[in-house]
A and B are shown apart, each in its own frame.
Chain A
Amino acid sequence: MRAKLILLGALALCAALSQITPSVNPYYYDVLIGIGINIMLAAGLNLVNGYTGQFSLGHAGFMAVGAYLASAMSLAIQFPYIDWPDWSGPRWLWAPKGIWLLLAAPLRLLEWMHNSLVFLAHGLPAQAQFLCVLLYGGAAAALAGLVVGIPSLRLRGDYLAIVTLGFNEIIRGVIQNAEPLGAQRGLGGMMRHTDFLWTFGSAAVCVYVVLALVNSTYGRGFLAVRDDEVAAEAMGINTTKYKVLAFVIGAFFAGIAGGLYAHFKQYIHPDGFNFLRSVDIVVMVILGGMGNTAGVCVAAVILTILPEVLRRVGIENRMIPYSLLLIVLMLSRPQGLFGGLGVARKKGPAIAK
């Protein structure tokens, strides 16, 4: 109950603040929205990496799925008279003839669903349309999370990290070839729907969902999988379900964050969702302390502002201090800067074996 009140309070605060934020300096506004998006990404990844103990290195891939599909939908709503390239029409997704027959049907189904959603969303007011667009991006990313989650069942540790990284590259590879999504040119022309309320409202919901989930009876399963998978399995916990669920929820919020990002920057390119973007999010989670949502949010704020501060003092490449931080942190304080200081869990979270 208290948590719900805090969530409502946070949403009200966002609504109030969003009345004044459009008047702030555009540069600060840009950083501010970036903070909100990064909080969402990091809190979602924390569910996978921190609470469930599955090391994922491909969060930017889910963000890309959300950003691209949300943009495709909002562009289709915005410009109904443009003839968008068929999803299953030109053979952008290369495949031998036999496989193509298999691929064409699901692609056509997806296209049909996409078009019907666009059609349904036409009559709605602009804000409701944007909500639909974001949820659509989130759902698509969640589907991608499901696909990535399934092979992850038999993998752990290093292998999982590489496979998720591989999925990130595969998603980028498909987008780079996808004519309906702009391929190598990137996708632009979306309206700037994202504002302070949308960004921080979604971030608040994301943090609330992750915290409420993990602190519920149901959500203890995530922690059990992290602490000892074999013991959890022996206790009758369906570890498979929890692992996939963590991926799906994390991916869903990454997709929403991607949609917000796309409708803020108004231009997206596959290179913006590469391996390094994933590493950015992972650094936030590790710095904040894996499995410590408050710490991760603080880390997301710090790491979004830090590059701007560093640029002022003349360090252009933020990755140098980031990577040093990673090494030094692992050598001296593997639980993260704020690990063990969390309010939600009294015992300091241990990194999974």
Chain B
Amino acid sequence: MIEFLQQLINGVSLGAIYALIALGYTMVFGVLRFINFAHGDVYMIGAFAGLYAGPKALRLFGGQPGYIAALLVLLFAMTVCAAVGIVIEFLCYRPLRSRPKLSVLITAIGVSLFIENVCQDSHVFGPNPQAFPTIINDTAIEIPSSWGTFADLTVTTSQILVIVVTAGLLLLLTQIVLHTKLGMAMRAVSFNSVASSLMGVNNDLIISFTFGLGSSLAGAAGILTSIQQPSIDPLMGILLGLKAFVAAVLGGIGNLPGAVLGGLLIGVIETMVVGYVSPTYRDAIVFGVLILILIFKPSGLLGRGQREKV
């Protein structure tokens, strides 16, 4: 029981990261109806932005790891990623707006491969894993022994931090999407892009904004992963991005709460499989979930089915 609870905690903190990335996929799918394959690489760039900014932020505070320094690093990575996302959209996807979807998909794969491989070049980040600077002290939280068997649980500060930051970002995102003019325009574009442009919405601007928003969440996810794991490398975004996509599909692509639910579920499922089955199946099981979902409920857990019109 206590082991199950432990796995659940680990799974939720992993799932929070999937949720942040899945939100980017889902938002882009909402406005453009295509999978941004390069999203996982934006997440990787976020982690490397942290690698660059981490030591500088620490120097500002006398070399001591702390929450303000970590916050600065987080904001920096989010800004960098937002910029990267907007540039990718502007250079690669905008010229293809009226082309068949398959062209856009192939371009997205191309962009993803390009980022991964350029970053592997020794003049950029280099192919080897690099140690991420300690921007917060990651320690296990003491659970008072009066909690009985629960005292055996191991919860680290970074796990709490991941969940807290994710929850904060989700609240912020909800505010933006539901209560601002830009958010309303976003929902309009996603609902019907032709009608929204007739109503005076600048679709291109909104699409850029969506890319920026989604990419900044991926950047935040990049930092949040990096404070938990010892090293980062240019290929870290491939599998994680794909799994986050699976999370988005599981929750119902185009549906924001669905992406969060899917992310948490995928995180928990993956941790349970690693804990109780076999670590080598951790990737295969996620794709198995995807296939089952697409066979039995292609619209996802929270999505609404759409009829195809000829």
Interface residues of A (CB under 8 A from B): 55, 57, 94, 151, 154-155, 157-159, 161-163, 165-167, 169-170, 172-174, 176-177, 184, 230, 275, 279, 282, 286, 317, 319-320, 322-327, 330-331, 334, 351-353
User: Given the complex, which residues of B lie within 8 Å of A275, measured CB to CB?
Assistant: 238
Chain A binder among B12-20, B44-52, B103-111, B136-144? B103-111
CB <8 Å contact, B110 and A353: no
CB <8 Å contact, A177 and B281: yes
Report the nearest B residue to A155, measured CB to CB: B294
CB <8 Å contact, A173 and B107: no
Q: When the two chains form the complex, which single residue of B107, B113, B285, B294 contacts A322, counting CB atoms closer than 8 Å? A: B113
CB <8 Å contact, B280 and A173: yes
User: Given the complex, which residues of B lie within 8 Å of A323, measured CB to CB?
Assistant: 110-114, 117
CB <8 Å contact, B105 and A157: yes
User: Given the complex, which residues of A lie within 8 Å of B99, measured CB to CB?
Assistant: 330, 334
CB <8 Å contact, A352 and B106: no
CB <8 Å contact, B283 and A327: no
User: Given the complex, which residues of B lie within 8 Å of A325, measured CB to CB?
Assistant: 110
Q: Is B1 an interface residue (CB 8 A)?
A: no
CB <8 Å contact, B35 and A162: yes
Minimum CB–CB distance for A68 against chain B, Å: 15
Minimum CB–CB distance for A274 against chain B, Å: 10
User: Given the complex, which residues of A lie within 8 Å of B103, measured CB to CB?
Assistant: 330, 334, 351
Report if A151-B114 is in contact (Cβ < 8 Å); known contacts: A174-B284, A331-B95.
no
Report if A353-B101 is in contact (Cβ < 8 Å); known contacts: A154-B294, A158-B35, A165-B242.
yes
**How far is it, in angstroms, between the C-alpha of A154 and the C-alpha of B297 when the chains are bound?**
11
CB <8 Å contact, B110 and A163: no
Q: When the two chains form the complex, which single residue of A55, A169, A230, A286 contacts B287, counting CB atoms closer than 8 Å? A: A169
Interface size for chain B: under 10, 10 to 19, 20 to 34, or 35 or more residues? 35 or more
**How far is it, in angstroms, between the C-alpha of A94 and the C-alpha of B272 when the chains are bound?**
14
User: Given the complex, which residues of B lie within 8 Å of A167, measured CB to CB?
Assistant: 287, 291
Q: Which of B109-140 contact A (CB under 8 A)?
A: 109-114, 116-118, 120-121
CB <8 Å contact, A166 and B107: no
Report if A176-B287 is in contact (Cβ < 8 Å); known contacts: A158-B101, A353-B100.
no
A sample of 30 inter-chain contacts (CB < 8 A) reads A94-B281, A151-B291, A154-B294, A155-B298, A157-B102, A158-B35, A159-B298, A161-B35, A162-B245, A166-B287, A166-B288, A166-B290, A169-B284, A170-B288, A173-B281, A173-B283, A279-B109, A317-B117, A317-B121, A320-B114, A320-B117, A322-B113, A323-B112, A324-B114, A327-B111, A330-B106, A330-B107, A331-B95, A334-B99, A352-B102
Secondary structure of the B contact surface, majority rule: helix
- With A151-B295, A157-B101, A159-B298 known, 17 other A-B pairs at CB within 8 A are A55-B102, A94-B277, A162-B242, A165-B287, A166-B287, A169-B283, A173-B285, A177-B278, A317-B121, A323-B111, A323-B113, A326-B113, A327-B110, A327-B114, A331-B107, A334-B103, A352-B102
Q: Is B198 an interface residue (CB 8 A)?
A: no
Interface core residue of A166, A167, A319 (most chain B CB under 10 Å):
A166
CB <8 Å contact, A230 and B298: no
User: Given the complex, which residues of A lie within 8 Å of B110, measured CB to CB?
Assistant: 323-327, 330
**How far is it, in angstroms, between the C-alpha of A310 and the C-alpha of B306 when the chains are bound?**
47
Minimum CB–CB distance for A33 against chain B, Å: 25
Q: Is B5 an interface residue (CB 8 A)?
A: no
Q: Is B96 an interface residue (CB 8 A)?
A: yes
User: Given the complex, which residues of B lie within 8 Å of A170, measured CB to CB?
Assistant: 284, 287-288, 291
User: Given the complex, which residues of B lie within 8 Å of A282, measured CB to CB?
Assistant: 106, 109
Minimum CB–CB distance for B197 against chain A, Å: 21
**How far is it, in angstroms, between the C-alpha of A276 and the C-alpha of B103 when the chains are bound?**
19
User: Given the complex, which residues of A lie within 8 Å of B60, measured CB to CB?
Assistant: none
CB <8 Å contact, B291 and A158: no
Minimum CB–CB distance for A150 against chain B, Å: 9
User: Given the complex, which residues of B lie within 8 Å of A166, measured CB to CB?
Assistant: 242, 246, 287-288, 290-291
Minimum CB–CB distance for A253 against chain B, Å: 22
Q: Is B209 an interface residue (CB 8 A)?
A: no
**How far is it, in angstroms, between the C-alpha of A317 and the C-alpha of B116 when the chains are bound?**
11
Minimum CB–CB distance for A107 against chain B, Å: 17
Q: Is B310 an interface residue (CB 8 A)?
A: yes
**How far is it, in angstroms, between the C-alpha of A334 and the C-alpha of B280 when the chains are bound?**
38
Report if A327-B242 is in contact (Cβ < 8 Å); known contacts: A158-B35, A352-B100, A353-B100.
no
CB <8 Å contact, B290 and A326: no
**How far is it, in angstroms, between the C-alpha of A327 and the C-alpha of B277 when the chains are bound?**
40
CB <8 Å contact, B245 and A286: no
CB <8 Å contact, A320 and B288: no
Interface core residue of B95, B102, B113, B310 (most chain A CB under 10 Å):
B102
**How far is it, in angstroms, between the C-alpha of A163 and the C-alpha of B286 when the chains are bound?**
11
**How far is it, in angstroms, between the C-alpha of A159 and the C-alpha of B288 when the chains are bound?**
14
User: Given the complex, which residues of B lie within 8 Å of A165, measured CB to CB?
Assistant: 242, 287
User: Given the complex, which residues of A lie within 8 Å of B117, measured CB to CB?
Assistant: 317, 319-320, 323
Report if A161-B113 is in contact (Cβ < 8 Å); known contacts: A177-B281, A327-B92, A352-B100.
no
User: Given the complex, which residues of B lie within 8 Å of A162, measured CB to CB?
Assistant: 35, 242, 245-246, 249, 290
Report the nearest A residue to B115, measured CB to CB: A323
